[in-house]
Structure 1
Amino acid sequence: MARSIDQQIAETQAKLARLKQRQKASETRRKIIVGSVVISNALKEPEKARALAALLRRAVTREVDQKELVGLIEDLDQAAANAAPREDRS
């Protein structure tokens, strides 16, 4: 028995919804991976730690997000502070 047009539309919409869900999950995974690499690298390199902490302070504006990042920003500040003092190049 042939499917009605309404059934075909419903099936296509369901397939589209599944594809969108997979796309969103893939984007989320990418963000997690990139974030992990950036944080790990920044914690090892003082200049990058300073830059990332400054970026987070400037770019993260929602209070709930700021509260979530307090510990990370403290860790980045500590990594930046542990750097050897810069030499005067004058």
Structure 2
Amino acid sequence: MPKAEATLGSAAPQTPPKAAACDSASLAPNPASKAMRITLLMQRPEGASLDEMVAETSWLPHTVRAALTGLRKKGHKIAKSKVDEVTRYTIAPASLS
């Protein structure tokens, strides 16, 4: 019995595997992601309304607004305009690089 106790106590702690190194290619947006879908909607000439982005992503309005804030923080230029009392959002295709 003492031998079994010794093997339990002497086991080395397991360390988690190291994460893969991040590069700019791995940080590129997934074309099928919901964030990319709202970006593509906003690239249209007429832009996109909040309701259109909610319908496309199945997100709640506050989640879509948070995604827009995230895009702004990443340096994307998002413009707002009112058309018939509806706010429309547009993003320039060049700002996605």
Taking structure 1 as the reference length, the TM-score comes to 0.31
The answer to which structure, 1 or 2, has the higher relative contact order (CA under 8 A, 6+ apart) is 1
Structure with the largest fraction of helix:
1
Give the strand-richer structure, 1 or 2: 2
